[in-house]
Structure 1
């Protein structure tokens, strides 16, 4: 029932425990940082942020089911398991599949909405909405098939004790994984054109492209998972399915992590700003969008700045002895083109408008 006769996990099961624990920490950390980044910007959460939180809940469900699967025969040879254990494994696999089927489209929807918000041009909006329609159709088709893969439904995990019919499992899940990989690739290339159309230095274009192409990690995971699904043997499914179980959790958890990374730029800028204070610079807060406040911290005061998206500098009231790094933004959104102007006010008897 998941443990060897000595009361320990075998090698495969121990790998699941360690890797799955790391995945839980990574996914929770990524979403927490995403929410913190919004607070640094002085913003509420966008729709894609709420979807990311929902995706986290689903991915944690996959993680929990993976832990539970260790007590349902995963990592053991099926001929050593009781009928009750095999049924527990089959039920675990069924529920995990439904969680995964929902988690991945939610992650991708959050990414598409993010693209649509930071690249609000007609061609990108049309492309994003087309992808959203495809994701909706994909989810309805495969989730419905997954739910009713056996008739009656409970025959899926009670094959030895009930009568019923089921579709071929391995061809179904490999088709599901292959089409999922196609959408991964689509999301990978979707923002590339818009990034390279930006009027920014070539090196910065490469940097932004690198952020968006982090999705290639998820593509690679999808390929590995697909290979493991193809290798499943129905004659010893609890043993041969061990790593596909694990890669299912890896894909959902790292999908959440990767989807959050582009939204963490405010934290990166905060770290850089704090580093600049060692050179006598001030801490420049990170605001975004018209009417959103940012903050400038000088040696003697905390001043609120009206931080507008514009091609000219903002106006800031500073006290004597304080400094300000002014940010000139050329595009709204999480990805910003910024010109930084450092300003220092010498000691006087009055405040100065800059």
Structure 2
């Protein structure tokens, strides 16, 4: 009321003069500036909600889109992983289970809570403007986003570890140079160390830890590392690792004693993983607001949705080689 009492007389309008207040962008801008100077952030949001409701503004909400995309891709990931495990038993002429299969099973164990956390974030306002939410909903959503970041880090690294383990199964000792296998082992260790380093840095990104999800309201004290830079660093490292992992075996593929048609098919299966890299690159442009957004429930929407696509696609890509073998055996069985 204080801000309206200060600003409205300057524009010669009364508090009940809705047609004179709502279309006036300069007036609403001055009221917002006054609120920012004199009110807490939760009270600013209450005032914004009152103003939007009074003026009949349409609230934005994309929560449903996040849920649909996340669970659709998750359903495909489940199908791909199930097909992978069906293809592996030796009684079905598979190669048997290996460490790469157990690693991807661990990824699925992480993917379930990852998608569940996204669902919980949408239940608490992800995809909606923050003025439509309560302070408790915003805080809860940001706490869930904190968990989301850690799970994302684990998933993107472990899927690449699974692929490197698959390379070690395909190219056994004696069938390929020692350099290639040593490179795979070194890469696995580097990926696991990177996972541990970034996961721990996300856990301790703020002090106290709870400041990660309470700093938005301006009512709590604490400090954080440069969160946007931190997330950009992970994104850049992830993209570099993607390119390395998917380019690493190309030389060995070209040396395989199979037809060029089959070589092309095998290369395409592994190169399909570069689609995941494209998702990572697209995701990067939406990370700029992380940590210092005035409307996180709305502005985190795109980064979350592209993260969901990337993680689910990563799991699917690790299963493509096993699925291709299963489809070949099914085709041979059906055609006699």
The bucket for the TM-score relative to the shorter chain is: 0.7 to 0.9
Cα distance in 2, alignment partners of residues 258 and 174 from structure 1: 24
Q: Once structures 1 and 2 are overlaid, which stretch shifts more, 176-185 or 158-167?
A: 158-167
What residue is the counterpart of 2:134 in the other structure?
A: 82
Contact 1:188–1:213 (CA under 8 A) maintained in structure 2: yes
Alignment partner for residue 144 of structure 2, among 92, 102, 109? 92
Cα distance in 2, alignment partners of residues 42 and 269 from structure 1: 11
What residue is the counterpart of 1:137 in the other structure?
A: 193
Cα distance in 1, alignment partners of residues 238 and 95 from structure 2: 32
Alignment partner for residue 113 of structure 2, among 57, 61, 82? 61
Unaligned residue ranges in structure 2 (runs of 5+): 1-52, 54-58
What residue is the counterpart of 1:149 in the other structure?
A: 205
Residue 14 of structure 1, CA deviation: 2.0
What residue is the counterpart of 1:242 in the other structure?
A: 301
Report the CA distance shift for 1:58/1:213 in structure 2 as closer, same or farther (over 3 A). same
Per-residue CA deviation, residues 64-99 of structure 1 (Å, 9 max, x unaligned), is: 111111122211122333221111111011001111
What residue is the counterpart of 2:280 in the other structure?
A: 222
What residue is the counterpart of 1:49 in the other structure?
A: 101
Residue 31 of structure 1, CA deviation: 0.7
What residue is the counterpart of 1:104 in the other structure?
A: 156
Alignment partner for residue 36 of structure 1, among 80, 86, 90? 86
How many residues align? The count is 270
Per-residue CA deviation, residues 86-119 of structure 1 (Å, 9 max, x unaligned), is: 1111101100111111111111111000011101
Q: Once structures 1 and 2 are overlaid, which stretch shifts more, 92-101 or 74-83?
A: 74-83
Matched, 1:175 2:225: no
Contact 1:41–1:266 (CA under 8 A) maintained in structure 2: no
Structure with higher strand content: 1
Contact 1:91–1:156 (CA under 8 A) maintained in structure 2: yes
Unaligned residue ranges in structure 1 (runs of 5+): 278-354
Residue 11 of structure 1, CA deviation: 5.5
Residue 200 of structure 1, CA deviation: 2.2
Residue 43 of structure 1, CA deviation: 5.3
Residue 231 of structure 1, CA deviation: 5.5
Per-residue CA deviation, residues 248-303 of structure 1 (Å, 9 max, x unaligned), is: 111111110111111123311222113313xxxxxxxxxxxxxxxxxxxxxxxxxx
Cα distance in 1, alignment partners of residues 126 and 324 from structure 2: 40
Matched, 1:272 2:328: no
Q: Spell out structure 1 runs of 4+ moving beyond 6 A.
A: none
Contact 1:59–1:249 (CA under 8 A) maintained in structure 2: no
Structure with higher helix content: 2
What residue is the counterpart of 1:127 in the other structure?
A: 183
Contact 1:34–1:263 (CA under 8 A) maintained in structure 2: yes
Cα distance in 1, alignment partners of residues 60 and 288 from structure 2: 24
What residue is the counterpart of 2:244 in the other structure?
A: 186
Q: Once structures 1 and 2 are overlaid, which stretch shifts more, 74-83 or 52-61?
A: 74-83
What residue is the counterpart of 1:166 in the other structure?
A: 224
Residue 237 of structure 1, CA deviation: 1.6
State the SS of the aligned residue for 1:267.
Answer: helix
RMSD, aligned CA: 1.9
Q: Once structures 1 and 2 are overlaid, which stretch shifts more, 21-30 or 195-204?
A: 195-204
State the SS of the aligned residue for 1:18.
Answer: helix
State the SS of the aligned residue for 1:28.
Answer: helix
Contact 1:72–1:92 (CA under 8 A) maintained in structure 2: no
Cα distance in 2, alignment partners of residues 74 and 144 from structure 1: 25
What residue is the counterpart of 1:257 in the other structure?
A: 316
Q: Once structures 1 and 2 are overlaid, which stretch shifts more, 268-277 or 59-68?
A: 268-277
Matched, 1:17 2:67: yes
